[in-house]
Amino acid sequence: MSTHEVPLLLDGPCGALEARYLDLPDARGLALLCHPNPAQGGTMLNKVVSTLQRSARDAGLATLRFNYRGVGLSAGEHDVGAGEVDDAEAAATWLRAQHPDLPLTVFGFSFGGFVATALAARQETQGLELDQLLLVAPAVARLNDHGALPQRCRLTLIQPEADEVLDPMAVFAWSASLGRAHELLKVAECGHFFHGKLGDLKALVLPRL
C-alpha cells in the first residue's frame, strides 16, 4: 500500500486550493482534514493535522488535507470565518466524487474544529451524511457564535487538559452543554499542540475510525 500523498490544486470558491490526497484502492472510508487558524500560521502541514492524516491512513481511509484560501499555494485572502468553510465544502465535494459510496469523516484541529463543524452541519442540511466529526482542541468560542452543530453523525472531542491556546474549561463546558450524544476525551499533561503527545493522540484516534 502506498502511503504517498499526491499534491493537487483543487477548484475552490475563489481560485485554486492547494491540497494533498492519499488514495487507497481498498479504502473503507474517507477523511477530510481541516487545519488551524491561518492568521496564526496554521497550514495543512501542521504536525497535529499530519498525525491525524497518518491515523486516518492507518485506519484504511483515503485522506485529503488542504490549505484554506491565502495559505501556501491556495488563491485568495484569509477570511478566518465563512470563507474557510466554503473552501472545506469544495474540498469535501471533490473528495466525495473520488469515492461516492464511501463514508466521510471530517477532522478539525483548533480553528479547523470550527471549520469542520460548520461544514458538517452544512452538509447534513444538504442531505449529505457523515460518518463522524472528530474535533481536536476545537475553537468553541467560534462554535458558540455560529451555533451550527450536526446531529446525526458520530461526534468525538479530544481536548488537552493543559491547553495554553484555548481554555480547556470552555471546551468542557461546551461539551456539557451539547444536546446530543458524543464522546469527550481529556488528555492529561498535554498542551494545545500535543508536544511529546502525538503518539497519545494517534492512540486515541485510531480505535475510533
Q: What is the pLDDT of residues 150-173, one digit of tens each?
A: 999 999 999 999 999 999 999 999
Q: Which CATH number does the domain housing residue 14 bear?
A: 3.40.50.1820
- Please give the grid coordinates belonging to residue 51: 498525525
Closest CA to 193 of 69, 83, 36, 78: 36
Closest CA to 172 of 206, 207, 140: 140
Instruction: Provide the whole-model pTM.
Output: 0.96
Where is 160: in which H helix or E strand? strand 154-160
Print the domain residue range for 147: 6-208
pLDDT at 147 > cutoff 70: no
- Residue 1 pLDDT level (bands cut at 50, 70, 90): low
Residue 27 within a domain: yes
Q: How far apart are the first and last CA of the chain?
A: 18
pLDDT at 146 > cutoff 60: no
Which of 101-110, 117-126, 137-146 is predicted with the least confidence, judged by mean pLDDT?
Answer: 137-146
Per the structure, the count of domains in the chain is 1
Residue 156's Cα: distance from chain center in Å? Answer: 11
Residue 181 within a domain: yes
Cβ(42)–Cβ(110) below 8 Å: yes
Q: Which whole number is the average pLDDT over 165-185?
A: 94
Residue 1 within a domain: no
